[in-house]
Structures are given as C-alpha cells and as structure tokens.
Amino acid sequence: MIVLALTGSIGMGKSTTAKMFEEAGVPIYDADAEVHKLYAKGGGAVEAVEAAFPGVVKDGAVDRNELSKRVLDDIPAILRLEAIVHPMVSASRAEFFRRVKAAKADVVILDIPLLFETGGERNVDAVVVASAPADMQRERVMARPGMTPEKFASIMQKQTPDAEKRARADFIVDTSRGLEAAREQVLQILKTVRSPGWAPRPRAPLEGAGERGH
C-alpha cells in the first residue's frame, strides 16, 4: 500500500485537493478532523482535557479557542495536551490502516497540515504539496470570516515557508489554475505512483500502515 502525505500552507487549497483525491477513490485520513471528533461532545478526549485544563469544556465539548489560550507559548502545557491527544490520534490512524488494508486499497492519503514541521515526511512514501502564488494565498485567507492581517502573519510564522515545502515535495499540485487543472494533476500523481517503475522515498514503517506494495 502506497502512503502519500498531503500538506500545504493555509489558503493553498489543500482541503480542495484532498477532496479530489477522495473523489478519485483514494481513502483519506485527516488528522485535524480526528482531533475535532475527539474534542466534540462525547469525544474521547473531552474528559481528559478538562481534567488537565479545567474550564476549557463548554456544553460538553472542548472549546478550542479557550484551549488554545491555555497552551499558547506554554511548552509544558503543550506537552501535557499532546500526551493526551497523540495516543488517541495514533489509535484512530492505526484503525484507519486496518480498514483500508482490509479493503485492499493500493493508495492512501494522510492529510497532515504541519507535515514538515513535525518530521512526518519521514514516514510516508511520497509528499504532495498543494501550492499557489503568495498573492492568491493572501487573498483567499483574508476572505475568511474573522481573519485579520495580524492573525494571518501569526499563522504564517508557525508554518514552513511554501518555497521550502515545494523544494521538499515529491509532487506539487498548483491550485492557482482552476479546479479542472488541479484535478488533472491529482490524477497524474495517482497514475505515476501506481506505475511499476515509480520509486518511493525510503521511510520508516508508519504504525498500522503495514507493508508497502504496488
């Protein structure tokens, strides 16, 4: 099974690109979506997060804004939160791999926004980066509700620069040329990785991923 990581900075079209892979029949594991489930009412992390950070749960769900304030620039707090959430995410990812292996999927996508920031590229067969020119990125992001120039700048400071992501990518999806052009790029990537002559990057086995195979 070929494991691809999809990443991209804010406003680069990563979510749209992920949907295109999904439409092409590729299973997607979205780590951010899994965290949202864990924080939602009835989610597996709610009780433990409230115990570690009293007052962040409102109406039975973790208030992500309040939690963010509690851990902002506080390394011990961040590590405490990660110790709660990361094992749960790892377990859900292992279950995802069990499901797709049983379904005999030949390619899967791990949607990981902070891939290079966390060293996750070492655990996959190839990296796909969604990208667009900086002016288009800014226009997209500033159109979002509640976004400000200061907030945008803060987010960008925490993310690996797009130029570096492009340089470290195995494949790039240019989202600036419209949906059909992006879709064609996605289909070409899948054709390439499924071809007998394609060589994946060396990687450490990802928990639950099983053996690589074409």
| Cα–Cα distance for residue pair 48/38, rounded to 1 Å | 10
What is the reported pLDDT for 211?
37
Are the CB atoms for 196 and 184 separated by under 8 Å?
no
Residue type, 66: E
> Which residues are registered as beta bridge partners of 126?
4
What is the reported pLDDT for 158?
82
Are the CB atoms for 175 and 129 separated by under 8 Å?
no
Low-confidence ranges of the chain (pLDDT < 70): 204-214
What is the reported pLDDT for 107?
97
What residue has token string 């989610």? 43
Radius of gyration of the chain (CA): 18
What is the reported pLDDT for 207?
56
- Residue 73's region, left for phi above 0, alpha for psi from -120 to 50, else beta, is left
Alpha helix (H) ranges present in the chain?
Answer: 14-23, 31-39, 46-52, 64-71, 75-102, 115-118, 134-142, 149-157, 162-168, 179-193
> Which residues are registered as beta bridge partners of 30?
111
What is the reported pLDDT for 49?
95
| Cα–Cα distance for residue pair 99/179, rounded to 1 Å | 30
